[in-house]
Amino acid sequence: MSEKTLYVKTPLSINVEYDRQNDILYVYFNREEEATEEILDENGESIMGYNGEKLVYIMILKFSEKINGYII
């Protein structure tokens, strides 16, 4: 996979949500914008949604494993 440069426009807010059932942490940089494409990282641990070169969200898969299972 070729490297892609993505950027985040200075967001007014960042929204973070956790899906306990699927163990995914979502970080949204702009809830009103839709991603047109996604990239799965080379380790298969996160997905980045983007539109053009603008990063819209990051999904961190198996999130509880990355923080040693500590979720309240």
Which portions of the chain are predicted below pLDDT 50?
1
Domain boundaries, the chain: 15-65
For position 24, what pLDDT does the model report? 95
- Residue 21's pLDDT is 94
pLDDT at residue 68, as a whole number: 80
Q: Which amino acid is at 32?
A: E
Q: How far apart are the first and last CA of the chain?
A: 36
R_g of the chain, CA atoms, integer Å: 13
C-alpha 71/C-alpha 21 separation (Å) is: 12
CA distance 36 to 68: 32
